[in-house]
């Protein structure tokens, strides 16, 4: 089974982004994705 590296993020500002989290340890990607979802996107 492949390890998930691309995570769909729905930011707090309402924007959506697919983020490549392959630079993070696999066991911390889900938590980081949840944290990103609570932040505004880089465009805002």
Q: What is the pLDDT of residues 3-39, one digit of tens each?
A: 899 999 999 999 999 999 999 999 999 999 999 999 9
pTM (2 d.p.): 0.84
What pLDDT, on the 0 to 100 scale, is given for residue 17? Answer: 96
What pLDDT, on the 0 to 100 scale, is given for residue 25? Answer: 95
- The 8 Å CB, 24+ separation contacts for 3-10 are 4/29, 5/29, 7/33, 7/36, 9/33, 9/36, 9/37, 10/37
């Amino acid at each position: 089974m492949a390890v998930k590296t691309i995570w769909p993020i729905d930011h707090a500002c309402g924007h959506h982004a697919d983020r490549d989290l392959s630079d993070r340890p696999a066991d911390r990607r889900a938590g980081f994705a949840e944290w990103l979802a609570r932040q505004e996107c880089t465009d805002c």
